[in-house]
Structure 1
Amino acid sequence: MARAALLLPVALLLCLALAGSAGAERKMVGVYELKNKKGDFSIKVTNWGATLMSVIVPDSEGNLADVVLGYDTIAEYVNGSSYFGALVGRVANRVAKGRFVLDGKAYHLYSNDGKNALHGRLSFSGSSPSRMDHDVIASLMISPSGFSKVIWTVKEYVPDCDSPYITFYYHSFDGEQGFPGDLDVYVTYRLSSPYELSLHMNATALDKATPVNLVNHAYWNLAGHGSGDVLGHLIQVFASEYTPVDSSMIPTGQIAGVAGTPYDLRRLTPLGSRINLVSGGGAAGYDVNYAVHGEGFTQVAFLRDTASGRAMELWANQPGVQLYTSNWLKDEKGKDGKVYQKHAALCLETQAFPDAVNHPNFPSEIVRPGGVYSHDMLLKFSS
C-alpha cells in the first residue's frame, strides 16, 4: 500500500480508537489524492467517514473548478452535520420511529430526526474546530456515530496508474447504531478516462441478517462550489415514479407516478422552474426518493450547468435515488472561505427506498448471513 500523497498538518492528525474494538487499534486520519495523467481531473478523499472532499474537472474552456461542497479541514468534517461527501450507513435515509422488525425480532435505533432515525447516527454538537481535542474525538468514537463519523482503514491506495484508486474498509460491529450483526464494509473510489469517477460499495453480513443501505452524500454544483445556487442547472431524472412522504418525511408506502406533478423530471428541466412547487419537511425544494427506471446498472440522472458547460451523467444499480436540493443549508462556512446558502448544491443519492425495512412492498434491503450487498455508481463528467 502506498503512503498518503497528502497528510494533514501535525496539529490536525487525529489518532483515534476504532469504535467498538477491544484492542483500541490506533489510526491516523489522512487526505489522499487521485489524479488522471493529464492532470485536469482529480479528487481528494479522506478515511474519516470515507469522505469525498473534492472533485476537480474542466469546463468547456478548460478552466478547472471543484464541483463538490466541503470543508478545508478534517476537524470541520468531524464537527459538521451536513454529511458533505460522506459515506453514510449502515442504513442511509430515514427509518420510521427508529424501529423495525426482522425475522420476528424488534430492533431499536437511535432517533436523531424527531422520532425517526436518519443516516444511522446521532446528532453531535461538540467543540468548535479550533478547540477540537482528544476528549471530544473520544466521545464521538464511543457513540453510535454512523459510518460517516468513524475512521476507515485504507486497504489499498494506488495513485500512480492509468486508473488510480483507493479502497477503504470498516468493520461494523453487532449492535452498532442498534443494527444486528457484524458487517464488513468496503468502498473503492476510482478514476477512469476520460473523466469518470466510479464508486463501488460492498458489505458482507457475517453472522446475522441486517438491513444495509449505503449512500455517498456528495453535494454537487457544476459551476463550482461556492459559486452561488444551482437553480440554473438543468436536470433530468430517469424515473416515472416516486415515493410520497408524510409530514415527518417518512414514506407512506405508496409508489406514485410523477406525471402531472412537479416531481416529473423525465425531460431536461431547469431546476429553478420547479423548486418552489415542492417541499421537503417544510422547506422549499426537493427532498424525495425516485424509483429508478429499469433494473441492474442503468442511467439514473443527468445534470448540466449551462454557464460553464459542465455536465454529469449518473449511473447506478440501485432501485432509488434521493434528490435533495440543500434546502436546509444556511451560512455554512465551506472551503476557501466560501459560505454556502440554501440551494447551493444538490445531492443525487442512489439508494434503497427510504424506510424500506418497514415497507414489504418496497425492494428489500436485507442482507442475509454470508450475503453481499453491492452498490455501484458511475459519474461521467463532460463539457
Structure 2
Amino acid sequence: MRNLSRIMAGTAVFAMSCTLAATAQAAEATQAPAGALSDGTQVTAVTLTADNGVSATILSFGATLEKFMAPDRDGNMADITLGYDKLSDYESRPNYWGATIGRYANRIAGGRFTLDGTTYQLPRNDAENSLHGGGKGFDVQNWKVESVASGPVARAVFSLMSPDGDSGYPGAVNARVTYSLDENGALRIEFAATTNKPTVINMTNHAIFNMAGEGAPQGAMENVLMVPASHYTPVNAALIPTGELRDVEGTVFDFREGKPVSEGLRDGTNQQIVYGRGFDHNFALDKGVTKKPELAARLEDPASGRVLEVLTTEPGLQVYSGNFLDGTFVGKHGHLYRMGDGIALEPQKFPDSPNHDNFVSARVDPGKPYRHVMIYRVSVDR
C-alpha cells in the first residue's frame, strides 16, 4: 500500500506538472463584438494572446490586423502597427492599415490585364492604375469568422466569397485567411483561395510598422531594415514596374547588410526615390518562391530592442516608407500620422505581374488553389 501511495502521489505530481507545462505553452483566442458598420453589419474582433504576452487583434472587417502588441527589452508592451481606434474610421477612411489585400495586392497598370485572350478592366483608384483591388477590394469587406480556437497555437479563420466579375476580375473566388499565434509570439498568416475559372490572385497583409511603437514621436525611419534581395524592380513615374530587375549594389536600395530606413530616403538625385517620394518599391527576394516561409525582412528599433522578422513563400517584398502619410490621418490614441511614421513590408507577387511575362505569374486556375504563407515573428535584441 505504501508503494502504491507513492506511485499514486508521483503520478499526481507528474500529471500536475504536465498540466502546468501545457498551460505555460498555451495560446489563447477570444472574440468579442467590435461594433457595427454603417449598414448595420456586425463586426467581430478576435484576439490571439501568446504565453510571452505578445498579442494580435484581428477585425473581421478586412480581416484586418488591428493591433499587434510586442515587448521591448525591459518588458514594456507597445502596439507596433499603425491604425485607427474606431471601427467607423476603418470604414470611412480606409487606408489599408493591417488589412488583407486582394484580389491583387499592389498596382496593375491602367487597371487592365489580358488572360487567355480576354482583356479585363479593373477600377482605376490610383490615378490611371488599379491599386490593392481597385478600391472595393478584400480590405473593405466584412469576412466571415469561420472558427476560433485556443491551444498550443491560437487560431482564427476568416472566409470571403468574391463573385465572378467582382471589381472586374474573372472567376468566383473563395478566399480564406488563417491567423495563428504560437506560444512564442510568432504570428502566421496563411492566405488560400480557389476559383471556378482562370484569374489572377495576389494576397498579402498591409500592416504598417514602427518597432518603436505606433505614434512614437521620432517616427520609424531610424528603424534598421535588412532585406535579403540583390535586385529590385524600378518603376516609372506612375509607380509601375518597368520590367527590369536592377542590381541594388552601390545604391540606396541595398538593404542586404541592414541600415536605417532614413539612409537615402531623401536622395533627390535618385530618380527612383523621387518617383516614390521615398521607398515604395518591390524587392526581388534572393530566395524566390519557396514551399515554406523564408526570411524576407528584418526590422529593428535599436532603442527599444524590438525586432520583427517577416517570412514568406512569395518572391517579392514591397517596402513602403509611409511617404503618403500627410498629417491628415488621425490614428490610434489621437496620433497624427505623418510621412515616415511607419514602414510597410508586404510579401507578394511582383506589382503588375499580369502584364510582365518575365515576372512570376499570378495566374490561378480551377483545381490549382492559391496559397501564400507569411509570418510576423517578433523578438527582442538585448
Correspondence for 1:235: 225
Give the superposition deviation at 1:379.
1.5
| Aligned residue in 2 for 1:83 | 96
Rg larger for? 2
Closer/same/farther in 2, CA of residues 3 and 215 from structure 1, 3 Å limit: closer
What code does the residue aligned with 1:13 have?
A
Identity of aligned residues (%): 37
- Aligned-pair CA distance for 1:4: 5.8
User: Segments of 4+ in structure 1 off by > 6 A?
Assistant: none
Match of 1:285 in 2: 278
| Cα offset, 1:36, TM superposition | 1.4
What is the deviation of 1:27? 5.0
The CA distance in 2 between the partners of 1:249 and 1:284, in whole Å, is 10
AA aligned to 1:354 is P
Per-residue deviation, 1:281? 6.6
Does residue 116 in structure 1 map to residue 129 in structure 2? Answer: yes
C-alpha contact (below 8 Å) 1:283/1:328 kept by paired residues: no
Gaps of at least 5 residues in structure 1 are: 17-25, 123-144
Asked whether the equivalents of residues 356 and 362 of structure 1 are also in contact (C-alpha less than 8 Å), the reply is yes
CA contact (8 A) 1:15 1:29 kept: no
CA spacing shift, 1:83–1:341, aligned 2, 3 Å: same
Say whether 1:100 aligns with 2:81.
Answer: no
- The 1:281–1:273 alpha-carbon spacing in structure 2 relative to 1, beyond 3 Å, is closer
**Do 1:4 and 1:30's aligned partners in 2 also have CA atoms closer than 8 Å?**
no
Deviation at 1:15, TM superposition (A): 7.8
* Partner residue in 1 for 2:36: 13
Code of the aligned partner of 1:59: D
Q: TM-score by structure 2 length?
A: 0.87
1:121 positional shift: 2.4
Residues 298-356 of structure 1, C-alpha deviation per residue, up to 9 Å, x if partnerless? 21111110010001111100010000000010221011111111100100000000000
**Kept in 2: contact 1:312–1:379 (CA 8 A):** yes
- Look up the match of 1:351: 348
CA distance in 1: counterparts of 2:153 and 2:282, whole angstroms: 32
2:319 aligned residue? 323
Deviations 1:9-52 (A, max 9, x none): xxx42385xxxxxxxxx9521111111134x1111110100000
Structure-1-length-normalised TM-score = 0.87
Query: Secondary structure, in 3 states, of the residue corresponding to 1:106?
Result: strand
Aligned match of 1:64: 77
1:86 is displaced (CA, Å) by 0.6
Following the alignment from structure 2 to structure 1, what is the Cα–Cα distance between the partners of residues 181 and 191? 15
1: distance between equivalents of 2:32 and 2:144? 16
Q: 2:339 aligns with which of 323, 339, 342?
A: 342
Residues 189-228 of structure 1 aligned to structure 2 (within 5 Å): 189-205=179-195, 207-228=196-217
Distance, in Å, in 2 between the alignment partners of 1:66 and 1:111 is 33
In the aligned structure 2, how far is the partner of 1:341 from the partner of 1:90?
A: 28
User: How many equivalent pairs are there?
Assistant: 345
| CA displacement, residues 78-99 of structure 1 (integer Å, 9 cap, x when unaligned) | 1123210010110111111111
Q: Indicate conservation of the 8 Å contact 1:15/1:28, yes or no.
A: no
Letter of the 1:5 partner, please give it. Q
Q: CA RMSD in A?
A: 1.7
**Cα distance, 1:3 vs structure 2:** 9.9
Equivalent residue of 2:326, what SS?
coil
